[in-house]
Each structure stands twice: as C-alpha cells, then as structure tokens.
Amino acid sequence: MPGRPDPARRSRTPLSRLRVLSAAVALADEGGADALSMRKIAQRLGVVPMALYKHVANKDELLDGMIDTVVGEIDPPVEGADWRTTVRLRVLSARRMLLRHPWASAVIETRMKERPAPTPAVMAYLDEMIGVFRAGGFSLDLVHHAMHVMGSRLLGFSQELFVDSPSPAAPSSSPSPPPEEMAARYPNIAELAGAVAHDAGSVVGAGCDDQYEFEFALDLTLDGLERLRDAAA
Amino acid sequence: MPGRPDPARRSRTPLSRLRVLSAAVALADEGGADALSMRKIAQRLGVVPMALYKHVANKDELLDGMIDTVVGEIDPPVEGADWRTTVRLRVLSARRMLLRHPWASAVIETRMKERPAPTPAVMAYLDEMIGVFRAGGFSLDLVHHAMHVMGSRLLGFSQELFVDSPSPAAPSSSPSPPPEEMAARYPNIAELAGAVAHDAGSVVGAGCDDQYEFEFALDLTLDGLERLRDAAA
DNA sequence: ACCTGAACACCGTTCAAGT
DNA sequence: ACCTGAACACCGTTCAAGT
C-alpha cells in the first residue's frame, strides 16, 4: 500500500491541545514532574516532538495547561448547602485531586511564585471560593483574611509530612539508621510515633490516618473563622 | 612560572561539600531551581564538573544537602519563653528562610513526597517543635494533631497566593486581559481587590500586607490549638 | 503552506585514559 | 591513587530543507 502513512506513526484521532495535555498529565502522574519531557509526550502520542509545538507554545505553557487541566477536575461548588459544607466539600475535592496528581502542588506553587497571574482555572476556583464565603455572610475584610487562613489548604500542599509506607519504587539511597538510633536522636518524634502506633484502636495498621488529620485541621480552621464572623456581627 | 596551576582554574580555598552546597544555594537563590545545574555550580567554583562528585553523590543528594543547609538557617528555639511565643518565633523564622530561598518550599515538598524520610535538619526541626509543644503541656495526641494543623506553616509553602508586584524579570508571555474584563470574569476577586486597595489606611501602597496576613492566620491557628488544649485539661 | 529531520546548546553521569 | 576529558544518552527549541 504505497502512500499509506506508517500505522505506527499515525494516531487514530488527530492531535489536539486536549490530547497533548492529557498525555502530559498521564506521564507526570506515572513518573513525576521529572519524568515529563516534550520528547516522551510526543513518543506516547506516536508523533514527532515538533508536532506538539502546534498546540502548546513551549514547555512552560504546557505546564500552565496541565495545571488548568487538573484544577478543572475539582468538583464545582454544591448548590443549596450552607457556606461551611460547601467550602468543606470543595477543599476535600481539591485534596483528592492533589492526591491523584502528586506533581501538581509543587508545579502550582512554583508557577504561583514566578508568574504574575495564576492560570484561569485557578482564578475561577479561588473566585468561586470567595463567592461562597460572601454568600455565607462574611464581610470583605473577613473573606480576605479567610483566604489567607485557608492558605495551602485550598491548593498546593497535600499535608503528608510523614509517609508511613515509603513508595515501593523509592530506592533508599541512604539506608535510614536503626530505630534505636533514630529514637535517641529524635526522642520526641519517637515518643509520638510510639503513641500513635500504640493506641491505634479504630485505625487499621500503624501510623496516622491522614484523611482524619486533614479533616481535623480543616475543621479547626473553619471553627476559628466562624467564631470571628459571629464576633464581628 | 612553569608548573604553576592555571589561576583561572585554581580556587583560593580547596573544594569542600560546604562550598559546593553554598554555591548551589546561591545559584538557586538567583535563578530558581531550574537554573541550577551541576555544570553551572562547577563553573562558578572554577572547577571541572566531575570534581563535584567527590563531595556529593549526585544531584539528588545535592538537593538534600541544599535543604539541610537552608533548614539549618532557621533560628533555634528561644530559651525560657512560653510554648506559644517559642512556636511563633520559630515559624516566623522559617518563613523568613523560605522568603530568602524561594525555590526551597517546592524542593522540600517534592522531596518529602518521594523520599522515605526527610533530611536530618528537617527531622531535627520537627523534633524540636514537638518538644516545645510537649513542654507547653500538650498531650501526645494533641501534639500529633497540632503538627498536622500547623502543616505547611511549619515548612514548605510561603503563602503568597497573589503577588501584587510581579517580579521585574518576569516576561508576561500571555499579557493579562484589561481590568474591566478581569472584573467581569472574576467579580468576587475584583470586589475583594478593590476593597483591600481602598481601605489601606495604615498599610503603605496598594495590595495586602503579606506579613500581617501570615501572622493573622498563624495566630488564629494557635488560638484554636490553645482552646483545644485547655478543654482537654 | 505545512511539516519535520537535523542541528544547536544544553543536561547528569559513566568511564577510560591520563598523570 | 587520584583526577579529568571525552563520551553517552538525554533535554527544549531553532531553523532550514523537504513536501
């Protein structure tokens, strides 16, 4: 069949910005931001690297597109619920997104710092969140404070300080010292870790329940905000 | 003078791990994490790239060393003050460090996620922080919660969601739409921004006082923790 | 006009050849 | 034994040559 394009090179559907971004997100989900490269995205799409530049200006703009893609996955605000429920559900949805895309928080944070303005989806997300607070009776001043207080719980940091089960693929380059030495060097961490592992009655296995901890912190912050609001009224 | 080493290549002091890490931190401070490369560090030290590998195993281990370097810059806990003052001063010192090294929070966060254990300086920092809470009369359970609640305020996210004055070097690849269109698309952000810029009585210039906002959020969180502690007693 | 291969200026790291 | 240049397998992006 002369003139027929090489099947290995031809993709079923034509290339598009959406297909490029989807492939990029999938690649980053699998191997982290370091494993992401224009060349690998092209390879996965069965396309020559330069073909990507028809749909994204460069790698920087690709990263912005990836942020918009994943932030767009956050559930929209629920209708008809009170402000507190709405904020709570939304932040928990954002957290699930960040857990699905572990590379996202660092990329978002870096972008936030060096770009003049966040990407459109981030802007929309923050805007909707402000609207929820306003509808809940918060003054402008208090909404301003509230956004700062929520801080990284809105986006950009998924709160896992201690990973109890290290990722299976992670090669421990420097093997951690034996538990006794760890306990001697960091007595308070050891004491805390012991207590947490000990009284884990309802929690399956050792270590702490990240989901519970996240919601605990979130609820405490929300309590404080509500108290401030009522005091101002 | 035959046999004399080339002065352009010879460095005054001999290469050491500390000099390598210092050069790496300085390079990242100037150009961000992307501008950091083994080759550029070597060039700055007047040394051949491979010479660095005598003092750091690879770039991953270099990044770990850089984290330890900057986390080591955080002031030690003050002696003789109550727990609240001590935590407050320490977290504010950590924030100053993160502002000095804008690349650090993203690097720390990425590292926290893929490494089984944080670097020694991070471990020591967290350990001391736990000790301060314990000395303040917090139960083990409550300290555990407290560390989660403090979350990214301890390390890793510097809270600047909106940069009022974009960094001078930042070339606006996609020029932001005119203010009217921004206000139409994001009415709540616009309303908030207007209010903040308007009633900036004591604050010099437009925009919000990041320092004030950071301390406001911190104090609110601390209030909540103290209330919990007293209720448990 | 559109597409794309080669090329350019990088990168981290290996390794063998030099002293 | 130590040091280091060349080399390898990458990378993002430019650009000219091909259709």
Cβ-defined contact of B163 to A116 (cutoff 8 Å): yes
What are the tens digits of pLDDT across the range A25-56?
999 999 999 999 999 999 999 999 999 999 99
Residues A132, A83: contact at Cβ < 8 Å?
A: yes
Q: If you ran DSSP here, which 8-state letter would residue B151 be given? A: G
Cβ-based contacts of B225 with chain A (< 8 Å): 220
Residue B178 C-alpha, separation from nearest chain A C-alpha, in angstroms: 13
Q: At B47, which amino acid appears?
A: V
Average pLDDT of every residue of chain B: 76
DSSP symbols for B50-114: GGGGGT-SSHHHHHHHHHHHHHTTSPPPPSSS-HHHHHHHHHHHHHHHHHH-TTHHHHHHHHHHH
pTM of model > 0.85: no
- Is the Cβ atom of B43 within 7 Å of strand C at any atom? no
Which H or E run contains B231? Answer: helix B210-232
DSSP symbols for B1-41: -TTPPPTTT--SSPP-HHHHHHHHHHHHHHH-GGG--HHHH
Q: Which two three-digit tokens encode residue B175?
A: 């020029």
Domain ranges of chain A: 79-163+186-233
Alpha-carbon distance A111 to A11, whole Å?
A: 32
Find where tokens 């509500």 sit: A226
Shortest CB distance from B176 goes to which of A116, A157, A217? A116
Q: If you ran DSSP here, which 8-state letter would residue B117 be given? A: S
Cβ-defined contact of A217 to B143 (cutoff 8 Å): no
What are the tens digits of pLDDT across the range B65-79?
999 999 999 999 999
Give the residue from A214, A111, A199, A219 showing the smallest Cα distance to A156: A111
Q: What is the CATH number of domain B79-163+186-233?
A: 1.10.357
Q: Which residue is nearest to nucleotide C13 (CA to C1')?
A: B58
Q: How far is CA A127 from CA A76, B7, B101, in A?
A: 12, 58, 29
What are the tens digits of pLDDT across the range B9-48?
444 578 899 999 999 999 999 999 999 999 999 999 999 9
Alpha-carbon distance A8 to A11, whole Å?
A: 8
B50 CA, D5 C1': separation in Å? Answer: 10
**Interior angle at CA A217, CA B233 and CA A129, nearest 5:** 140
Q: Is the per-residue pLDDT at B198 higher than 60?
A: no
Alpha-carbon distance A117 to A108, whole Å?
A: 12
Shortest CB distance from A114 goes to which of B110, B167, B213? B167
Alpha-carbon distance A90 to A75, whole Å?
A: 6
Find the length of chain B: 233
Q: Is the per-residue pLDDT at A162 higher than 70?
A: no
Buried b (16+ CB within 10 A) or exposed e, A111-132: bbbbbbbbbebbbbbbbbbbbb
What are the tens digits of pLDDT across the range A88-134?
888 889 888 988 999 998 898 888 777 766 788 888 888 888 888 88
Give the residue from A99, A166, A14 showing the smallest Cα distance to B116: A166
Q: What sections of B101-209 are H helices per DSSP?
A: 104-114, 120-135, 140-150, 179-185, 187-198
- Is the Cβ atom of B61 within 7 Å of strand C at any atom? no
Find the length of chain A: 233
Give the residue from B77, B185, B62, B141 showing the smallest Cα distance to A201: B141
Q: What sections of A72-205 are H helices per DSSP?
A: 83-100, 104-114, 120-135, 140-150, 179-185, 187-198
Residues A66, A49: contact at Cβ < 8 Å?
A: no
pLDDT of residue A146: 75
Tally C-beta pairs within 8 A across A and B: 188
Residue B124 C-alpha, separation from nearest chain A C-alpha, in angstroms: 7
Residues A46, A11: contact at Cβ < 8 Å?
A: yes
Q: At B232, which amino acid appears?
A: A
